[in-house]
Amino acid sequence: MQYRHVGNSGLKVSLIGLGCNNFGARMTTEDARPIVHKALDLGVTLFDTADSYGSGGSESALGDILGSQRQDIVLASKFGLSLEDSPRRVVPATRDYIMDAVEGSLRRLQTDWIDLYQLHALHAETAMDEVLRALDDLVTQGKVRHVGCSNLSAWRVVDADWGAETQGLTSFVSSQNEYNLLNRGVEKELLPALREKKMGFLPFYPLAAGVLTGKYHKGGAIPAGTRLDKMDHLVARFFNDETMDIVEALRDFADARGRTLLELSFAWLASRDVIPSIIAGTSRPEQVEANVAAVEWQLTDDEVDEIDRISTLSSDARFGSLFRN
């Protein structure tokens, strides 16, 4: 396992992180237990959850499973999405809300501190200065060690960094957004901004809802039991002619090198210098093994250039952020 620093912070994480959004929602604590243990055995140190995942169930599952091994990992959680309604319903992150949210997360996670506490999304009524001041207080109190953000546009991230710097407050060390070979929108503004500000980038959806696992083929049926089979709203986004043309070209590239499409997807992300860890959710322990093994493939500069050429055959802005800000 490789380990990298998150931006210029002292936070060091495994190149493969475990996304825990399935815990408490699509699987029970006992279903999640072997996945967590496999990740720990393989050297995964970044475990990423949120209070909204499973309406708190993900955090509760991690708290129950980790036990004394909690001190050996980097525990990341988030606040700012409703625990009770749709998981994408953003709520105003006032100071009172943040202070209540962190106590709830600490209780469910059965820990005294969160290594990386992230603003999940920005509500139109949320004042960034208020968020930064509340988070700075949590760092001072020792309840939070580093802070970050998720699903923010580039200008919001830069504005927050400027606000923290000018007011002497704790700055975000990372930004978490969707990024994969089929959605490269963050490359236009966000990634250059993060490099300039010496922040880390934590990509989620590395396999584009499973389309980059190799299970899907152009002109074929959607395999039963897969994520696209269960989530109709993702079909139009990922399972279309334009996207599948790219997928087939990438598959050919991987096949020619005796590799899989999954390995290619992770290895390409690992080649990005601004990325300290790739957040990947799994439903089985063997998937953790596959993800960890994938980043052992170190692409050459020529290979990266060719992959970039293939994967940018589509329009730049097909997807964009999950949240508007």
Active-site residues: which are they?
Answer: 53
Among all chains, which residue has been given the structure tokens 């699903």? Answer: 151
Query: Is-contact 217 241, C-beta < 8 A?
Result: no
Rounded-to-integer distance, Cα 193 and Cα 149, Å = 14
Token readout for 19 is 């996304």
Q: Could you tell me if 21 and 77 are in contact, meaning their C-beta atoms sit under 8 angstroms apart?
A: no
Residues 105, 79: contact at Cβ < 8 Å?
Answer: yes
Closest CA to 62 of 16, 5, 110: 110
In whole angstroms, how far apart are CA 97 and each of 134, 163, 173, 219, 293? 10, 20, 22, 48, 40
User: In b/e form, how buried is each residue of 237-246, taking b as 16+ CB within 10 angstroms?
Assistant: bbbeeebbeb
First vs last C-alpha separation in the chain: 35
| Three-point CA angle 155, 159, 160, nearest 5° | 120
CA–CA distance, 147 with 154 (Å, rounded to integer): 17
